[in-house]
Structure 1
């Protein structure tokens, strides 16, 4: 398994593409190794099947240019912060050894999202403790690892962001990756089965909201499209202040 620069955790396949899709596209384009670990297969989804979600996740991964993606197979609607589930997450963290981790939002409309955030943050802490022993897929003992930076991506409930990533240059790629999940989001090429209802995220108006929010946060940093994040353990130290502030703020 390759080590990663950035690892994103998600309660469901498509959470990252929906909320941080532009950011992961941009990171991959910049040459960073990026991966996603999905906790569930979306078994309770009103549209599509778990198998479809896996196929859609594979297509989205190719579009983004991910270095790795896996699914922990936890139960949708039942993402409990148990020691057993923590161990699954710890094993992934120690396997990929990312410098930066992206997480579900701490508060969201869907209970799975905040539950996944709680599970992730606890596991990230425990992953750094040497007394917690885990092994990799080949049975080799894993060394402790704790990422250097942890950020929450924004979901249905807004928060005051610590930073906004300018994703203007990869916006079309980001939308293509999101629409790979045709069973979940508005895609004119997808024909739902008669028993598949329209959902909160499958209608065209939701897709317009995604675009509108990206434009709103992009505007705050002088970009066309932006994705907001909350830094979990602030403040963070810098040694290259001009480098950190290299993005000019057009409106000040």
Structure 2
């Protein structure tokens, strides 16, 4: 089950919105990516846990990921508890990712920042030998990802680096729109929420375009990092 990248989101659709373009690009380059949703998004104003589950499955097919799981933690009430940490430790040891992509460190929804810290702590704990976890009654080997990067969500957090997603934005938006109950639909009879507006849908393009403008590409997604990144050389840097 080892994957190169493990993307984790507090709610189904967090990953698609925050780093969907990056995931699609990684997969196009031959990398393996899996997703863990921490909650079912059951407190969302629109849709239900059941519809979100189907939408997450549909989005996963569009993204082309290897696997997707939902831990069914309590939506709206994420805590950095031992119970929740160990559930994530089990998944980190199961998938053994080199890199974890996690929620924004600061955001409008309180679950996002809570998830960012929860996942970060679990990544550290997953590398401690004296913490024992099991998968199918077998003791898991320890594993600690090399990097944890946090994608950007509602707030305009200043990125510490961006990934060029030129050529992959349309498919990202397609994956986001797999969540039919959640986003803009002029024919919907459900209550309007901040993410169900036409402006929010359009923001997926203009925010990616703005990060692209600042970095010298057409479209980009931004990330923050928990530790200083060292470059082996200057190859691969896009100069604007």
Tell me whether the two structures share a fold, i.e. TM-score over 0.5.
yes
Alignment equivalent of 1:186, drawn from 168, 184, 188: 184
Query: Is 1:208–2:205 an aligned residue pair?
Result: no
Query: Is 1:142–2:140 an aligned residue pair?
Result: yes
Shift in Å, 1:35:
0.7
Match of residue 35 from structure 2? 36
Query: Which portions of structure 1, spanning 4 or more consecutive aligned residues, are displaced by more than 4 angstroms?
Result: none
Contact 1:179–1:187 (CA<8 Å) still a contact in 2?
no
TM normalised by structure 1 equals 0.92
Shift in Å, 1:171:
1.2
Match of residue 153 from structure 1? 151
Contact 1:164–1:217 (CA<8 Å) still a contact in 2?
yes
Shift in Å, 1:221:
1.4
Contact 2:10–2:112 (CA<8 Å) still a contact in 1?
yes
Could you list the per-position Cα deviations for residues 117-164 of structure 1 after superposition, in whole angstroms to 9, with x for gaps in the alignment? 11111111111100000001x111011111001100011122221111
Query: Is 1:25–2:19 an aligned residue pair?
Result: no
CA distance in structure 2 between the aligned counterparts of 1:171 and 1:187, rounded to whole angstroms: 20
Residues 95-244 of structure 1 mapped to structure 2, 5 A cutoff: 95-136=94-135, 138-187=136-185, 191-192=187-188, 194=189, 196-234=190-228, 236-239=229-232, 241-243=233-235
CA distance in structure 2 between the aligned counterparts of 1:82 and 1:67, rounded to whole angstroms: 28
Shift in Å, 1:187:
4.1
Could you list the per-position Cα deviations for residues 206-238 of structure 1 after superposition, in whole angstroms to 9, with x for gaps in the alignment? 11122111111011111111100001111x233
TM normalised by structure 2 equals 0.97
The CA RMSD measured in Å over matched residues stands at 1.2
Could you list the per-position Cα deviations for residues 166-197 of structure 1 after superposition, in whole angstroms to 9, with x for gaps in the alignment? 11111111111010011111246xx53x4x20
Match of residue 94 from structure 1? 93
CA distance in structure 1 between the aligned counterparts of 2:92 and 2:77, rounded to whole angstroms: 21
Could you list the per-position Cα deviations for residues 63-118 of structure 1 after superposition, in whole angstroms to 9, with x for gaps in the alignment? 01000110000011011111010000000000000000001011100001011111
CA distance in structure 1 between the aligned counterparts of 2:55 and 2:115, rounded to whole angstroms: 21
**Runs of at least 5 residues in structure 1 that lack an aligned partner in the other structure:** none
**Runs of at least 5 residues in structure 2 that lack an aligned partner in the other structure:** none
**Aligned pair count?**
240
Contact 2:160–2:224 (CA<8 Å) still a contact in 1?
yes
CA distance in structure 2 between the aligned counterparts of 1:121 and 1:247, rounded to whole angstroms: 27
CA distance in structure 2 between the aligned counterparts of 1:222 and 1:237, rounded to whole angstroms: 21
Query: Is 1:6–2:30 an aligned residue pair?
Result: no
